[in-house]
Amino acid sequence: MSAASASLMGFSYFSVPVLSAVVGAVLVLLFFSDYFRRRRAEVASIAPPLEPKPADQKPPKNSSSSHSHKKLHARSHAHAPDKVDQNKRHHPLDVNTLKGHTDSVTAVCFSSDGRNLATACGDGAVRVFKLDDVSNKSFKLLRINMPAGAHPTAITFSEGASSVVVAGQALSGSSLYMYADVSSKPSGDGNQQVKPTFPEIKWEHHKVHDQRTILTLFGATASYGTADGSTIIASCSEGTDIKLWHGKSGKNLGTIWEIVYAKDGSVKEVSKVMQLKGHKSAVTWLCFSPNSEQIITSSKDGTMRVWNINVRYHLDEDPKTLKVFQIPLHDAGGSALHYGRMSLSPDGKILAATHGSTLQWLCAETGKVLDTADNSHEGEITGIAWSPQMIAVGGGLALVLATAGADKKVKLWLAPQLNSS
């Protein structure tokens, strides 16, 4: 009994742990066997084996994917030129661009026949473009380097198209230079850099407005009474005086419209001036009508005014306001803006005006906007001028407007159509 009992107890003592381990291992094997069978079944259901294909037949799935991929790329390439074309698309009135300037263009001016266009540039050079046809792809030009240290700020033609008078600013002050025979020496293509040439300087004056910069030069033909038809040039500076010059000889004809100040800063005397009263804020620009009997002014008060200056000023008659127009430009807050530059077409019918890089054409009779070119330049418009007469454009004749910009470009624009109504 005791031996059997011990044997049974020994079996129990040694066999139970072993048996438990064996049973546990069997259960684990059964569990993992069932788990792997299920995983194989899942994998088989997710990725069934591909059916064998003939060697010369491409899988339809890959073919379709490749076709779609190619079609997508073809679509992308087809749209890319559209974006480029949109970026390069010009305003309908934008007929051409004069390139070749390497700095901001500070002034632009047509010759009296409209066939030559002179520009002043911050790179120290003056360029005279010969406009045989405004729509041409390139233009002959004459490039003139200013004297060392002088930067051109204003320009005008003298004696028809044969000469130009240029205002230059240096550390010593403002100077005037008259270059002769500029219309007979075209030397290069307008889209290429050409070697500077040096036409003869016929006359020059220095410190003409002391240290002040000359902002504007304006040339007009002397045709009144017994005048000889020569060009009279007016120079206007940052100061208070306007000076007259004989275009051919360079003789100083005098100073007009000078404001004399007293020592305490008050105005002491104003000579030979008529007052334009009516604007409620600063006047930013003015331009004359072709017959010089009217002036159009722009003001920061948000209005333009048309004045009749054909009055007996020697009898102290003041100019009369003929019309008042609201400037049709507003900022994001709805406040009225002002025009920085204006120019009236030679027929007196279309007013071109600028604000920043925006260019507008307005009917001079009604003040209504005829057309607008937003962002006409990639920067501020720095100069504006109409051709004095119709010039060649694509085999026809048309009035042309030139604008200069801080983007180193000069653009040529056609005049918009006036509404018949």
Query: Which domains, and CATH codes, for the chain?
Result: 90-273+340-414 (2.130.10.10)
> Could you say which DSSP state residue 82 is in?
H
Model pLDDT, residue 101: 94
pLDDT classification of 361: cutoffs 50, 70, 90: very high
Residue given tokens 């057309």 in the structure block = 371
Given a cut of 90, whether residue 104 has pLDDT beyond it is yes
Query: Helix, strand or coil for residue 255?
Result: strand
Share of the chain above pLDDT 90, in %: 40
Model pLDDT, residue 244: 87
- Rounded to whole angstroms, the Cα distance separating 51 from 83 reads 46
- Rounded to whole angstroms, the Cα distance separating 304 from 371 reads 17
Model pLDDT, residue 334: 86
Rounded to 10 degrees, the C-alpha dihedral 420/343/369/357 comes to: 140
Model pLDDT, residue 2: 45
Q: What is the tens place of the pLDDT at every residue in 322-332?
A: 999 999 998 88
Cβ–Cβ < 8 Å for 261, 241: no
* Amino acid, single-letter form, for residue 51: E
Return the number of other C-beta atoms located less than 10 Å from residue 33's C-beta: 10
pLDDT classification of 45: cutoffs 50, 70, 90: very low
User: Among 16-20, 194-198, 242-246, 324-328, where is mean pLDDT lowest?
Assistant: 16-20
CA 419 to chain centroid: 27
* Amino acid, single-letter form, for residue 298: S
User: Among 26-40, 154-168, 210-224, 305-319, where is mean pLDDT lowest?
Assistant: 26-40
Given a cut of 90, whether residue 97 has pLDDT beyond it is yes
- Rounded to whole angstroms, the Cα distance separating 421 from 417 reads 12
Average pLDDT of the segment spanning 103-132: 94
Share of the chain above pLDDT 70, in %: 68
pLDDT classification of 336: cutoffs 50, 70, 90: confident
Model pLDDT, residue 224: 57
Helix (H) or strand (E) holding 210: strand 208-211
Give the closest residue to 350 by CA, choosing from 376, 384, 322.
Answer: 384
- Rounded to whole angstroms, the Cα distance separating 349 from 362 reads 9
Model pLDDT, residue 254: 80
In sequence order, what are the beta bridge partners of 254?
A: 244
What is the strand order of the sheet 369-373 is part of? 341-344, 350-355, 358-363, 369-373
Distances (CA, A) of 149 to 102, 125, 170, 237, 247: 17, 11, 6, 19, 24
Tell whether the torsion through CA atoms of 72, 78, 84 and 86 is positive or negative: negative
Helix (H) or strand (E) holding 164: strand 163-170
Average pLDDT of the segment spanning 90-97: 91
CB contact burial 312-333 (16+ within 10 A = b; e otherwise)? eeeeeeebeeeeebebbbeeee
Distances (CA, A) of 327 to 234, 268, 352: 29, 35, 12
Model pLDDT, residue 111: 93
